[in-house]
Amino acid sequence: MEERRMINYQIRISQIMVIDDSGERLGLMSPDDARRMAFDRGLDLVEVAPNARPPVCRIMDYGRFRYEQRKRTKKQKQVQTKIIKLRPKTDPHDLETKLSHARRFLDAGDRVRFVVRMRGRERAVTERWILLLKELTAKLEDVGTVSGRPLLEGGGVTVTVEPKPKAIKDEPKAKAASPERPKAPQPQAADGGQPGVDAGEVLDGDDEDFDDDEDFDDDEDFDDDEDFDDDEDEDFDDD
């Protein structure tokens, strides 16, 4: 679950420790002064260490910060294998339904394994079922990549389709996620020097470095296979 943070006018404590968008510690100041500085740069004031005394806030692009957090969370998602079982006599309508399910799984980042279960004389025409799997997987080329050739396994023919990584356009998504920023208030007359005394604890773990070239395709740990079978107990009669 994404951690909620106080931003901009939600920060109401009298004094905060401020870090700018380059990582430099600016010292103690009021939230009003820090907000004005953030808004002048087209950025946000975000509380990153609420339990520090005084709390630590950072000037940053909050929309981009949230986008990077979601991207890291998605990378950590474990890939599941969805098994879709077929019979040689599965009718065209059921095949389209199963293709729809496969497409949904691949879009969600899961792999799909098709299994054609054969009985008796059906095993004598294995090439026909291999061709069937090739035709099915060809219809998923826009969302998946076939992993190897169809294989004979346990009295059936199987083929696995891996999800394709989705192209990520950082800037439009980050911009869409960015909260609307209020206009900077008019500058007020200075009544003294800006406080510059360091105090409180700065949490290094909250200082995020954003990497536009971050690899989105790290290896995943795979959960146990899950069956997805609409026709498991259905008998098919010869015409």
Residue 97 C-beta-side C-alpha neighbours within 13 Å = 11
pLDDT score, position 77: 63
d(CA 143, CA 183) in angstroms, rounded, equals 43
In the chain the first and final C-alpha atoms are separated, in Å, by: 53
Question: 153 has which bridge partners?
Answer: 156
Burial grade of 49 (CB within 10 A; 0-12, 13-18, 19 or more):
buried
Which domains, and CATH codes, for the chain? 8-61+178-205 (3.10.20.80), 77-165 (3.30.110.10)
Q: CA torsion sign, 75 to 226 to 98 to 158?
A: positive
DSSP helix/strand/coil, 137:
helix
Angle of CA points 99, 239, 122, to nearest 5°: 65
pLDDT score, position 183: 57
pLDDT score, position 109: 86
pLDDT score, position 72: 76
pLDDT score, position 231: 44
Q: CA torsion sign, 55 to 56 to 61 to 64?
A: negative
pLDDT digits (tens, 9 = 90+) for 41-80: 999 999 988 888 899 999 999 888 888 888 877 766 677 8
* Across 15-24, 80-89, 218-227, least confident range: 218-227
Inform me whether the pLDDT recorded for 226 exceeds 90: no
pLDDT score, position 73: 73
Inform me whether the pLDDT recorded for 160 exceeds 90: yes
pLDDT score, position 3: 66
